[in-house]
Chains A and B, each alone.
Chain A
Amino acid sequence: MSPSTLSPTSTLSPIAFPDVALPESARRLRAEVRAFVDEERARGTVLGRPDSWLAGWDPGFSRRLAERGWVGMALPTEYGGAGRGFLDRYVVIEELLAAGAPVSAHWVSDRQAGPSILQHGTEEQRRFFLPRIAAGQCFFSIGMSEKNSGSDLASVATRAERTADGWRLTGTKMWTGGAHVNDYAIVLARTEDAEDKHAGLSQFIVDLRASGVRVEPIHLMSGEHRFNAVHLEGVDVPDGMLLGQQGDGWKQVTGELTFERSGPERYLSTFPLLVSLLRELEQQPATAEQLAQVGILTARLHSIRRLSLGVAAALDAGHSPDTQAALVKDLGTRLEGALVDTVRSILPTPADPHATPGSHPELLAFALLHSPGYTLRGGTNEILRGIITRGLEQH
């Protein structure tokens, strides 16, 4: 690399991220969201729990959020969205995650399905789905992974075969979050056999209530039911539910991954545990050592947040910062796990899943039982690091 790659103008190098200045409107928006969260807290719906974008399923909360215009808010107004862009959306979702609000019902619709249908969908699909997503009335799952397809999505084996007026899907999707409570799934399936494994994949919008869909729970080691195996046993999908171009599934999916990888959910999942720690430390003066550890965690959170905002700014400007998104996810999800361990060492506490819900030992148990997942979901960190070095070579 020459020194010029390090100049401030090369904003998309893997090291130099774009500058971020949130507009004044974002400051007002943040205050509005905080007031809303306070109301909901008083109502007993915002419990300050870790991993609330995975585990906090509350359709009522999602609908009340939607009434404020805060679901699908980056979607254009003509499709029922708020037309407010990625930075405003960022402010809303980071406030909700920091508070541990129950956002998992609409999470995937808002983060992926909405933008994906907007970008690749037909006009009919946009008019049907986007207003429902923005109203918090239509919830999506993502059907990418399979038993033998995790980070290697090119090995997807679910097949879509041509019928008279559409497609028939056969196969089993794994790790499908919320499929037992959601309305639709975007399923990646093979529409033709091609030499290049990345070719011949297509995306379909599948009604999870359709005949031939069988949802089988996969229980987490905590016992929670969040994920499923979704068996597609000859499910008929009409032509109109092909999402995007036939054979473009790979390209579409990798485009979505940038949205999936860089958001605040990739470093804030365990943030409520740090808040809980500080609440505990308010009962007794913190030692110098405890202060130092809290400060080092805080500095890292602050710095990773800036990187994550940098990706949001790049997306807002129409860039596709895949390498940067992978970098944020690797750093952020490692912090999520490290935070749990550090909190435990700052204030030694036996994790206890049976302690009072919301108490420090119970939150610690919850965060700990979820912790191996942070660095797996959305692409394992080892694979992400491969993307980062490849990005550097291409730069």
Chain B
Amino acid sequence: MNTHTVDTGTPFIPADAYDTAAFYAEADAIAIVTNATAPDAVALPSEDASTAELLAAAREAGHRAVPAPLAETALVARPLLRCVGLPVPDGPLSYAIAPELTIRYAHPAASAVGSAGSSGDDDTLLVTGTLRRVPWARSATAVVVLATAPFGPVLFTLTPDQAVLTPGGNLAEEPRDDLYLATLEIPASRVRRISPELLDEARLRAALARSALIAGAAERCVDLTVAHTTARTQFGRPLSHFQAVKQEEARLIEETALVRTAVQAAAPLDFGGPAAHVAIAAAKTQASASAAEIARIAHQLHGAIGITQLSPLHLATTRLWSWRDEDGDETYWARRLARPLTAAALWPTLTTTP
């Protein structure tokens, strides 16, 4: 492939390209993200921001491949902590929805009704098991965990230093760390009993946050692709003048508009209730299902440069491929969306929103 040597007048990396190297060289990127005054940073929205504002910030984080758990903190961890009345720590936060943990009472009641250990003196818990692939665990101030205790669903927090951390990463090399908890004692002050509805809300929040990130990365694919096909010439004219290129580029734009709009549709809804369930399940299904086509077209139209680190395209496409699987892939959410449907319910369901 001699793509790199054909027309030296055209830069490999479009002028507006995101300066990857500089961003990642920043020693404390996470601090930048959480500090609204830093230049060139995506600021973590304030705690009283609306869902629409939080989604816009998450989309921007996805667009710029921000190396920090902005969406995780703003759209999932903070609101859940607020919901249950636990203090919200400063800095980046993460979450794990982990029904598979083994949880016992640290202080079992002496005269238990039922089997031994099915009730306790207080809600102090002993937790054993592994939280898999926790986003940004190594950098998080705290991890919000949702799990099932002997008395029902609970939410508690822990700090990463309380666990044995095995580093891992996704296709984009974003941290996805395993946290092993060895009979870890969580004081009652950090534990809250929650309703099954809040457990479900946590799943919806995570899915919507991830969908917004996908929408941002998809828009990045459009920006980079349009810049590339406009700047690069072949056979004496810009790529964007070729009919075949236009056809594919239009599909890329359409698929991106579809994802963005699906995410936007969920913004005005509360996280409970059937309308939110439908809108968010549809948003994550659509975002995950569109990721393959968006990445495919963006790479195809970039040609060889797109498969290298010389172009920032990989920042977006590797994230699309990762994020579509995280917090429930399209198959998981499609089934949740379809399960309650009947011939009579289909249209009323589609028109639940707006």
B262 and A299 within 8 A (CB): yes
- Docked Cα-Cα span, A392 to B251, in Å, equals 12
- Given contacts A15-B219, A296-B334, A389-B240, A302 and B342 within 8 Å (CB-CB): no
Question: 1/0 per residue A291-310: CB within 8 Å of B?
Answer: 11111101111111111011
B286 and A3 within 8 A (CB): no
Collect the chain A residues with CB atoms within 8 Å of residue B259's CB: 303
A331 and B254 within 8 A (CB): yes
B354 and A303 within 8 A (CB): no
Collect the chain B residues with CB atoms within 8 Å of residue A276's CB: 343
A275 and B346 within 8 A (CB): yes
B299 at the interface (CB under 8 A from A): no
B278 and A292 within 8 A (CB): no
B3 at the interface (CB under 8 A from A): no
Q: Name the residue of chain B whose CB is nearest to the CB of A324.
A: B257
Q: In chain B, residues 44-82, which have Cβ atoms closer than 8 Å to a Cβ of chain A?
A: 52, 56, 59-60, 63
Q: In chain A, residues 136-189, which have Cβ atoms closer than 8 Å to a Cβ of chain B?
A: none
Question: 1/0 per residue B106-133: CB within 8 Å of A?
Answer: 0000000000000000000000000000
- Docked Cα-Cα span, A279 to B341, in Å, equals 10
A386 at the interface (CB under 8 A from B): yes
Which one of B264, B282, B338, B343 contacts A275 once the chains associate, using CB atoms below 8 Å? Answer: B343
- Docked Cα-Cα span, A331 to B223, in Å, equals 20
B258 at the interface (CB under 8 A from A): yes
A382 and B247 within 8 A (CB): yes
B268 at the interface (CB under 8 A from A): yes
Question: 1/0 per residue B255-266: CB within 8 Å of A?
Answer: 011111110110
Q: Which of A16-24, A64-72, A217-225 forms part of the interface with chain B?
A: A16-24
Interface class of chain A by DSSP: helix
Collect the chain B residues with CB atoms within 8 Å of residue A47's CB: none
Which one of B16, B261, B338 contacts A295 once the chains associate, using CB atoms below 8 Å? Answer: B338
Tell me the total A-B contact number using a CB cutoff of 8 A: 165
- Docked Cα-Cα span, A98 to B334, in Å, equals 21
Which one of A6, A20, A98, A382 contacts B63 once the chains associate, using CB atoms below 8 Å? Answer: A6
> A40 to chain B: closest CB distance in Å?
16
Q: In chain A, residues 310-335, which have Cβ atoms closer than 8 Å to a Cβ of chain B?
A: 310, 327, 330-331
> A178 to chain B: closest CB distance in Å?
27
B285 and A21 within 8 A (CB): no
B310 at the interface (CB under 8 A from A): no
A347 at the interface (CB under 8 A from B): no
Question: 1/0 per residue A279-293: CB within 8 Å of B?
Answer: 100100010100111
Give the interface size bracket for A toward B.
35 or more
A303 and B286 within 8 A (CB): yes
Collect the chain B residues with CB atoms within 8 Å of residue A389's CB: 240, 246, 249-250, 253
A388 at the interface (CB under 8 A from B): yes
- Docked Cα-Cα span, A7 to B63, in Å, equals 12
- Given contacts A292-B334, A304-B258, A299 and B281 within 8 Å (CB-CB): yes
Collect the chain A residues with CB atoms within 8 Å of residue B268's CB: 19, 21
Collect the chain B residues with CB atoms within 8 Å of residue A382's CB: 247
> A3 to chain B: closest CB distance in Å?
7
- Docked Cα-Cα span, A231 to B259, in Å, equals 46
- Given contacts A296-B289, A301-B350, A385-B246, A291 and B261 within 8 Å (CB-CB): no
- A-B CB contact pairs (8 Å), 12 listed: A271-B347, A274-B346, A275-B347, A296-B289, A299-B283, A299-B333, A302-B279, A303-B259, A309-B354, A388-B250, A388-B253, A392-B249
B residues near A (Cβ < 8 Å) are 16, 52, 56, 59-60, 63, 219, 222-223, 226-227, 230, 240, 243, 246-247, 249-251, 253-254, 256-262, 264-265, 267-268, 278-279, 281-283, 285-286, 289, 330-331, 333-339, 341-343, 346-347, 349-351, 354
